A = this chain, B = another copy of it.
Amino acid sequence: MRDHLAFRLAYRGTAFKGFQFQKNVVTIQAKVEEAFARYFKESRRVHFGSRTDAGVHAYDHFVYFPKAFELYTALGVSKRKSFLSSLNFMLGNDIRIWEFGRLSSNFNVMEDIVSKSYSYFILSSPVEDPILTEYFHWIRHSLNLRAMRKAQRQILGTHNFACFAKSSGVSVRNSERGTTRRIYKASIVSRLHPQMKIGQILEFKFEGSGFLRHMVRNMVGTLVQVGEGKGTNIKSILRSGSRLEAGPNLPANSLFLTGTKIRAGLYAPLRPQTE
Interface of A toward B, CB cutoff 8 Å: 10-12, 57, 59-60, 84-85, 88, 93-99, 124-131, 133-135, 140-142, 195-196, 198-199, 258, 271-275
Contact = CB atoms under 8 A, between A and B. Distances in A.
A145 to B, nearest CB: 12
Given A93-B133, A127-B272, 6 more contacts: A57-B131, A59-B131, A98-B127, A98-B196, A126-B275, A131-B135
A157 to B, nearest CB: 27
- Copy tally for this chain in the complex stands at 2
Nearest to A125: B274
Nearest to A135: B131
A59 B273 CA distance: 34
A134 B132 CA distance: 11
A126 B274 contact: yes
B10 A195 contact: yes
Contact of A272 (B60, B94, B124, B198): B198
A95 B126 CA distance: 14
The 10 closest A-B pairs by CB, nearest first: A59-B195, A142-B274, A98-B127, A126-B272, A12-B130, A141-B275, A98-B196, A94-B130, A12-B131, A96-B130
